[in-house]
Structure 1
């Protein structure tokens, strides 16, 4: 597989000491680190870089893009969103993490509000594997737990997923579709719920395993891009009389 790009707002880590303690160099660096351990070529980009780090050259050479955003969704330019959307339609994989459900790019690709219930109370989260044959949960048991996480609860206003891979339960009683897949154009999308900035979620081995598996799954298929538009017949077409 080719190049992976981890995109992060990189705002919480600069302003909140509790987040900086968990991710001193940013969540994107932690995620990039455990992906690099698999031997992949991984780059990072952040919101405040020129063009948000999403230049044409960078996107053209990205096979899978991972996206984490929260407090600055509106600061992402519409031009960048359109470029990422087109790359997904052309075949680039996209993994949207946690509060990225409200990102411009995810909303555009879903066509819905992507709204949900939430609570910051340090709930325990139990993530159940509901599609054990799916490659995204290879190496994951029947479930895994995160001792503290932000709660997301249904209803999650997304289109019916192509596949529901993981479902979460929280100690407050809520449930949530925490791992869902979509296809848009020639690209594959995985939304993965865990990842609140004040908890050490991206240091968890099971979370890392799911993300590593998802990168493999979302990678573009190595084949020629489909041809669209007016097409010449393969066989002789007899005009009707």
Structure 2
């Protein structure tokens, strides 16, 4: 039987950490990097076992040891998806199949990891024009929506619009509306093997979205939801019979 995660899930926040070095506006919003802000938000919600990893560290900070000690992985990427090594992608994907939770944030919809797990292009419409975003809770009983209220409102965000080329989600928790009239499936869950995945749309780098109290609540809820739980073993390949087989003439 797969062992459950510790009472406090061990979280790794992965961030490509490129925009902060290239864009003064992003550096001003996230002076210690977006990963540090995300980690601080999780700690503020009582998640104490949080580490960070970034693209330019050896093995992107995702060594075998780090992945083995990660119950839930947060992933934010944008301008450097192609710089992520394929062997690291495969290791992350395998860990998800084996039970690690994965939280995919904003533009990480185009990450190699998410596209590999979805099996689709994961493409969408977009516009950076400081739209107001209203995220409506469409599954009020879902653990990820707890403490959020009827909706979240973000004053300025990048617009993502349908069609979002993903498989039908297992559960749809949030749907977004934007000032320009577009809508988007902005909070989607999936299961792959023993692992749980949550895609959450907000988080464009030029806005202080990860300081938003409601956004932080959702991400902390998602981490607790995605943490591994005990499950029956998965067995594959040739198998001996459990009972004696009758002899055949």
TM superposition score category, shorter chain reference: over 0.9
Higher RCO structure (Cα 8 Å, ≥6 apart):
2
Partner of 1:25: 32
1:169 aligns with 2:177: yes
Alignment of 1:3-42 (within 5 A): 3-37=10-44, 38-42=46-50
- Let me know the Cα RMSD of the aligned residues: 1.3
The 3 A distance-change label for structure 1 pair 232 and 16 is: same
- Residues 90, 225 of structure 1: 8 Å contact kept: no
Partner of 1:125: 133
Structure 1 unmatched ranges of 5 or more? none
How many residue pairs get aligned? The number is: 241
Runs of 4+ in 1 over 2 A off after TM superposition: 222-241
Alignment of 1:9-158 (within 5 A): 9-37=16-44, 38-158=46-166
Where in structure 2 are there 5+ consecutive unaligned residues? 1-5
User: What corresponds to 1:200 in structure 2?
Assistant: 208
Q: Distance in 1 between matches of 2:41 and 2:81?
A: 25
Corresponding position: 1:220 with 2:228: yes
User: 1:237, CA displacement in angstroms?
Assistant: 4.1
- Structure 1 position 224, deviation (Å): 5.8
Structure-2 change in CA distance of 1:237 and 1:138 (3 Å):
farther
State the alpha-carbon separation in 2 of the partners of residues 69 and 77 from structure 1: 13
Please report how far the alpha carbon of residue 221 of structure 1 lies from its aligned counterpart in structure 2 after TM superposition: 0.8
TM-score (norm 1): 0.96
TM-score (ref. length: structure 2): 0.93
Q: CA deviation at 1:64?
A: 0.3
In 2: Cα distance, 1:39 partner to 1:220 partner: 15
